[in-house]
A and B are shown apart, each in its own frame.
Chain A
Amino acid sequence: MSTDALLNKQFLSDIGVAIDDQTYEALSEHYADTLHERVIAEITNELDEQALIELETLKDASPDQLQQWLQANVPQLDEIVQDEMAILLGEMAEGAEEIK
């Protein structure tokens, strides 16, 4: 993963965005929510029916168990997460002028 993996003030400054703390928090939240939505959509698209049924049973699993399951069942997980991040950051860079 590249150094600009997560949204932070340095990244925003690098693309010429200067915002106050309140806007920054709102933007971070929006970034995280959007990333989650896209990652889960892509993961479920990758899984077959059997795996989806299994995933449903992991409601009460611990974070480690969930990670182990993802590791075993989503071979392209690295690529999926990194691509979704790259797309989101690219979109942010494209619309940097509109972030106030």
Chain B
Amino acid sequence: MILLIKNRTKTNMIREKITAHLEARDLRHQEAQADYDANTRSPDELVTDDKEILGTKAGSFLRNRYRHQADQLSEQIETAEANKDVPGMREKYIKYRDNRATIQSARIQRRIDNSSNSFLSAQINRQRRFKLKQLKYAKKVYADRSGTLESKRVNKPEKLQKKVDELIRKKVDAMYRKAQREALRQHSIGRHNVMKKAEFVAKMTPEMKKRIATEAVLLVRKRNIEKGHLDSSHAVDASLTKRKVTNEYGRTIE
């Protein structure tokens, strides 16, 4: 009996110790949490701080960055303008892609040769092996692709070739105009806040985006039909009633 009482007392003591330990642990956790909360600010506050610290410097950095981009675009436009009548631009581009692999390989080799540190040298060597493998594959893909494109182009009837070439020429002209618009936008600093625009586009629902784009295309088509620029027989294939494009653009030609 005495032994039983002693055991119970011992059990109670252990239980009390465990309870006290748990309470102390919870208290420590609460204190730690309170401490963490007191020292942690919300992301919004941090962003505000960031702006306060960077202030006008960030603004001028961005302005210079956009100005630099605008200058680069202007240069690209000038080059494109100067070369737009040069025949074989497309072939030159393919050749450039092919040469790029060789240039990159030579650049890595130069880095290895100039490296004084053996560890770094070994690391670069590993990178080189991997890069060369990648480049070899890329070169093969470019060669295959350009070969296929050219051979298929040559095998096409002349009329088809002309049509494709005309479409590609139109595409290049359109890209040129698009680059011009982009350059103009870049120059008009202050009017456009890139971050806010990105935020706006991200917030817009896919349905809204689709509606705006569809109405824009419809409007332009309507104007062109009014001007007589659009060949009505070619406008929409009437047999394809299920086609999404037909359904959406049908309203214009009714």
Interface residues of A (CB under 8 A from B): 1-10, 14-16, 24-25, 28-29, 31-32, 35-37, 39-49, 52, 55-56, 59, 63, 66-67, 70-71, 74, 76-84, 86-87, 89-94, 96-97
Contacts and interface: CB of A to CB of B under 8 A. Distances in A.
A82 B216 CA distance: 11
B171 A90 contact: yes
A76 B181 contact: yes
Most buried by B among A5, A35, A41, A46: A5
A42 B171 contact: no
11 contacts: A1-B221, A14-B160, A25-B244, A35-B217, A41-B201, A47-B197, A52-B200, A79-B181, A81-B216, A87-B171, A89-B171
A40 B196 contact: no
A16 B160 contact: yes
Given A32-B244, A32-B248, A81-B217, A44 B200 contact: yes
B120 interface: no
Contact of A6 (B185, B203, B245): B245
A91 B130 CA distance: 32
B167 A36 contact: no
A8 to B, nearest CB: 4
Nearest to A32: B245
Contact of A71 (B171, B201, B219, B251): B219
B192 A87 contact: no
Interface residues of B, number: 60
Interface in B224-254: 224, 229-231, 234-237, 240, 242-245, 248-249, 251
A47 B234 CA distance: 33
Contacts of A3: 230-231, 234
B80 interface: no
B163 A14 contact: yes
Contacts of B192: 45, 48-49
Interface of B: 148-149, 152, 156, 160, 163-164, 167-168, 170-175, 177-178, 181-182, 185, 191-193, 196-197, 200-201, 203-204, 208-221, 223-224, 229-231, 234-237, 240, 242-245, 248-249, 251
A46 B216 contact: no
A28 B95 CA distance: 33
B14 to A, nearest CB: 66
B216 A90 contact: no
B197 A97 contact: no
